[in-house]
A and B are shown apart, each in its own frame.
Chain A
């Protein structure tokens, strides 16, 4: 009894975990959720783009170039959040052997890599007019680059085995090892005082960014998170369907009677076995 009492939130989590361990239930739920996610994401990004390009003021120092922020910062948040998601899903997959957790981790990694790439490129484009250079070996930039390579390593490892289950489990261990990098990225700008500016939204003592800029930024971020959910559901559904198709094909191959072909190869067999 006491065990149950201490678990409070854990009990809910566990219930949700076992509820969606059934792929058929997941397919129904995700089919229902997908249009809502897609609609929300499209609307938020549309509103966010209008706000960012026309409503938000230009910066008194950076001028119009500050508008790159509305892509760069949400992409950076997503790059970190998606990695955290991959790691959490990997932990669930390792601990409970949850069938969908591994699919979720695999499906999320390329999306995260894409967001990291967007973050790096937009940052580079923003750095050129502001810092006068495309790239500096600053702590934040370098650690995000390392994150990008962690994503690539995860994707490569997951696909490197003939047995896909093996790849999934190896990838899960790697994702958990890579989590060490996340706090380094988040706090790199506070620990090493280099070129990249320190955090101005998620910090102790409240954001230092003006409200007129914060609102479009948060709208865009919400749109990006919606986009992630949409893409994740799409990719997970595809992976589940792929698995199903593969199983069906294997079943069909096992049931089909062996065909007697009369190719050149077959005629040579009796001669060789003489």
Chain B
């Protein structure tokens, strides 16, 4: 447990200090939403209708952006080998790194999402649903992303490949997350969508560390 927490603290601290990974991700998140507003036009009516979807897509892209840094630095400097050799099972090591990734990207994204919701003039009544959805859904993004990040370690054109692998797998969280805040969704629809989103996150929590650790082992061989 001490090793788990130590790894978490190290990764989280690195993400906050070194190169400002968190700051970059947040800046990217805001910029994507702003770009959509420019592309679609400033009519409040249109923006309100598609606002929740825009915020979710921007969150997916922002999470994707930081994934290639999840294992790459440790892979290059040999830290990953030490992690595999340490007493901590690799599955837990992966989980600690993924949790740190979520705390450094998913959590801040969720925290500033109300601001962006105001910017796209989202109905204030749906605001809690959006924040709750992001809070439940972003861990799934980090978990699924960790598998793809481990698979593409050392590949040619890693960045493009990573997005090709990850984005199709991000479709279910996107459907349920955006479905919870869609226009015309009543309380029971929102509830069902959030529950399904929670199920996705729990399934990813149970399965992704295994797949990710398997992918890392074959990368380190």
Interface residues of A (CB under 8 A from B): 94, 142, 146, 149-150, 152-153, 156-157, 160-162, 166-167, 169-170, 173-174, 176-178, 184
In the complex, what residues of B have CB within 8 A of residue A170's CB?
Answer: 151-152, 155, 215, 218-219
The answer to whether A157 touches B165, judged by C-beta atoms less than 8 angstroms apart, is yes
Report the stretch among B18-26, B30-38, B68-76, B156-164 that lies at the interface.
B156-164
In the complex, what residues of A have CB within 8 A of residue B215's CB?
Answer: 170, 173
B172 on interface, CB distance cutoff 8 Å: yes
Select from chain A the residue with minimum beta-carbon distance to B216.
A173
The 6 A-B pairs with the shortest beta carbon distances in the complex, nearest first, are A160-B155, A149-B168, A169-B218, A153-B165, A146-B168, A170-B151
In the complex, what residues of A have CB within 8 A of residue B214's CB?
Answer: 94, 173
B78 on interface, CB distance cutoff 8 Å: no
Q: A157-B152, A160-B152 are in contact. Are A174 and B172 (CB under 8 A)?
A: no
Q: A94 to B217, alpha carbons, bound, how many Å? A: 12
Q: A169-B218, A173-B218 are in contact. Are A161 and B154 (CB under 8 A)?
A: yes
The answer to whether B147 touches A166, judged by C-beta atoms less than 8 angstroms apart, is no
The answer to whether A166 touches B218, judged by C-beta atoms less than 8 angstroms apart, is yes
In the complex, what residues of A have CB within 8 A of residue B218's CB?
Answer: 166, 169-170, 173
Q: A166-B154, A173-B211, A173-B214 are in contact. Are A156 and B161 (CB under 8 A)?
A: yes
The answer to whether A153 touches B168, judged by C-beta atoms less than 8 angstroms apart, is yes
In the complex, what residues of A have CB within 8 A of residue B154's CB?
Answer: 161, 166
Task: Give the shortest distance, in Å, between A64 (CB) and chain B (any CB).
Answer: 35
12 A-B residue pairings within 8 Å (CB atoms): A149-B164, A153-B168, A157-B152, A157-B155, A157-B165, A167-B155, A169-B218, A170-B155, A173-B147, A173-B215, A173-B218, A174-B165
In the complex, what residues of B have CB within 8 A of residue A152's CB?
Answer: 164
Interface of chain A: mostly helix, strand, loop or mixed: helix
Chain B stretch 168-214: residues in CB contact (< 8 A) with chain A: 168-169, 171-172, 211, 214
In the complex, what residues of A have CB within 8 A of residue B211's CB?
Answer: 173, 176-177
Q: A136 to B62, alpha carbons, bound, how many Å? A: 27
Select from chain A the residue with minimum beta-carbon distance to B156.
A160
In the complex, what residues of B have CB within 8 A of residue A160's CB?
Answer: 152, 155-158, 161
Q: A160-B155, A173-B211, A184-B172 are in contact. List 15 more A-B contacts (CB 8 A).
A: A149-B164, A149-B168, A157-B165, A161-B154, A161-B155, A161-B156, A170-B152, A170-B155, A170-B215, A173-B147, A173-B214, A174-B148, A174-B151, A177-B169, A177-B211
Q: A248 to B152, alpha carbons, bound, how many Å? A: 30
Select from chain A the residue with minimum beta-carbon distance to B144.
A177
In the complex, what residues of B have CB within 8 A of residue A157's CB?
Answer: 151-152, 155, 161, 165
In the complex, what residues of B have CB within 8 A of residue A142's CB?
Answer: 171
In the complex, what residues of A have CB within 8 A of residue B148's CB?
Answer: 174
Task: Give the shortest distance, in Å, between A94 (CB) and chain B (any CB).
Answer: 8
Q: Mark B94-108, 1 if CB is under 8 A from A, else 0.
A: 000000000000000
Q: A174 to B214, alpha carbons, bound, how many Å? A: 10
Q: A54 to B108, alpha carbons, bound, how many Å? A: 63
Select from chain B the residue with minimum beta-carbon distance to A163.
B154
Select from chain B the residue with minimum beta-carbon distance to A148.
B168
Task: Give the shortest distance, in Å, between B170 (CB) and chain A (any CB).
Answer: 10
Select from chain B the residue with minimum beta-carbon distance to A149.
B168
Task: Give the shortest distance, in Å, between B207 (CB) and chain A (any CB).
Answer: 8
Q: A166 to B75, alpha carbons, bound, how many Å? A: 15
Chain B stretch 59-117: residues in CB contact (< 8 A) with chain A: none
Select from chain B the residue with minimum beta-carbon distance to A177.
B211
In the complex, what residues of A have CB within 8 A of residue B157's CB?
Answer: 160
Select from chain B the residue with minimum beta-carbon distance to A169.
B218
Select from chain B the residue with minimum beta-carbon distance to A143.
B171
Q: A177 to B172, alpha carbons, bound, how many Å? A: 14
Q: A169 to B214, alpha carbons, bound, how many Å? A: 10
The answer to whether A150 touches B168, judged by C-beta atoms less than 8 angstroms apart, is yes
